[in-house]
Amino acid sequence: MPTTAVRVSGLTKRFGEVQALAGIDFEIPEGTIFGLLGPNGAGKTTAVRILATVHKPDAGSAEVLGYDVVKDPNEVRMRIGLAGQYAAVDPNLTGRENLRLMGRLAQVEPSYIPPRADELLRSFDLVDAGDRPVRTYSGGMRRRLDVAASLVQKPPVLFLDEPTTGLDLQSRQALWNTIRTLVHEGTTVILTTQYLEEADQLADDLVVIDHGKIIAQGTAGELKRNLGGTVIELTMGEDTDVDRAISLVGAVTGSEPERQGALLRMPSPDGSHLLTQMLRRLDDEGVQPTAVALREPSLDEALTTPVKSLDTALTYAAAQNYLDERSRAMKRIERGGTMTMDVEPKKLPIALVNRYLEIKRTGRL
């Protein structure tokens, strides 16, 4: 049975007026990939910096392999590796020299450093470039070297803060494979990312953070199942067909499908049966789709569609964030301030806010 590598409880952090973290809780089993997902400014990097002992929390606690990040920071640092958002390697040194330098800084046994550097160059496919200055490396090569540098001392816990930002598809895939290999060898990886696809591909478990709060938590599969069993997609030909199809499909399902150009999309717990009904109705009215698809929902859809569980409903949490911000704005007006809001109400359907308020009032979904 896996033991806990990281434990976070009630973690809170403010920077002046900004509430970076508002009491988050999660646990990470050893030997897994844990995803911290959210937009810029959500609090992901702050959480990682606290766990890496760069920042101290204002409240709450955090442990890495049983060591408290505030009480035992040196013990924590000896057991972690950190690759930040930007490559922290010296462009004037060679790849091999960078790795050896990191070994000395990490107080690794001197006789162990050269063979470890050679091993990492092989593992990250950098042998041919190992004796070239890093300034001659591509972005993907620099990123791989940066991750390799965080592994010189073989840390059991590795923090990767948005490791594939700015990389091309081939470099992203190569780094994904490297991360999977590390976990297979026993490393626990905490991955922050803005990319839903990346979290879907890599993370065993994930949390979604927004405005310093956890608004969704679980495996990618669990979040997808909250959306429904399948997603139906119909691609229509002419614009007139799209408009008619929306009306006809709505008559079958009781709600209009999502439209994206000529593509109509909607989730369904019984996709094959509903798709058959849709196609029959469209055929009866002489409307023919040019393409039909029935597939599993993506993580993107699971986190941007109202779902069955409030605990994992990103959109309902967004409604609460909006209401909280509106309340704060009204209090500022009462004190003679201006009506300024961080949450843009025009981006949040008012029907969703009203639905959320009704759920809170009645306690029924």
**CATH code: domain of residue 216:** 3.40.50.300
My answer on whether 77 and 126 are in the same domain is yes
My answer on whether 128 and 62 are in the same domain is yes
pTM > 0.95: no
Q: Is the pLDDT of residue 320 over 60?
A: no
Last residue of a domain, one of 191, 224, 257: 224
My answer on whether 193 and 114 are in the same domain is yes
My answer on whether 43 and 171 are in the same domain is yes
Residue 301 belongs to some domain of the structure? no
Q: Is the pLDDT of residue 317 over 50?
A: no
pLDDT of residue 365: 38
My answer on whether 99 and 237 are in the same domain is no
Round to whole Å and give the CA distance between 202 and 140: 18
My answer on whether 133 and 182 are in the same domain is yes
pLDDT of residue 345: 39
- What are the CA-CA distances from residue 160 to residues 87, 137, 277, 335, 337 (Å)? 11, 20, 47, 43, 41
My answer on whether 248 and 355 are in the same domain is no
pLDDT of residue 364: 42
Number of domains in the chain: 3
Least confident of 34-48, 56-70, 260-274: 260-274
My answer on whether 215 and 109 are in the same domain is yes
Average pLDDT over residues 23-36: 92
Q: 195-242, pLDDT tens digit by residue? A: 777 888 888 998 888 888 887 788 877 766 654 567 788 888 866 578
Residue 305 belongs to some domain of the structure? no
Least confident of 26-35, 124-133, 214-223, 332-341: 332-341
Q: Is the pLDDT of residue 259 over 90?
A: no
My answer on whether 112 and 245 are in the same domain is no
Q: How confident is the model at residue 43 (pLDDT cuts 50, 70, 90)?
A: confident
CATH classification at residue 248: 3.30.70.2190
Q: Is the pLDDT of residue 363 over 50?
A: no
Q: Which residue, 240, 281, 284, is CA-closest to 262?
A: 240
Q: How confident is the model at residue 330 (pLDDT cuts 50, 70, 90)?
A: low
Q: Which residue, 89, 165, 167, is CA-closest to 133?
A: 89
Residue 110 belongs to some domain of the structure? yes
Residue 135 belongs to some domain of the structure? yes
Question: 12 is in which domain, residue-wise?
Answer: 4-224
- 3-class secondary-structure state, position 365: coil
Tell whether the torsion through CA atoms of 327, 330, 335 and 339 is positive or negative.
positive
My answer on whether 184 and 92 are in the same domain is yes
**Element (DSSP H or E) covering residue 301:** helix 299-302
Q: Tell me the two tokens of residue 227.
A: 């959306």
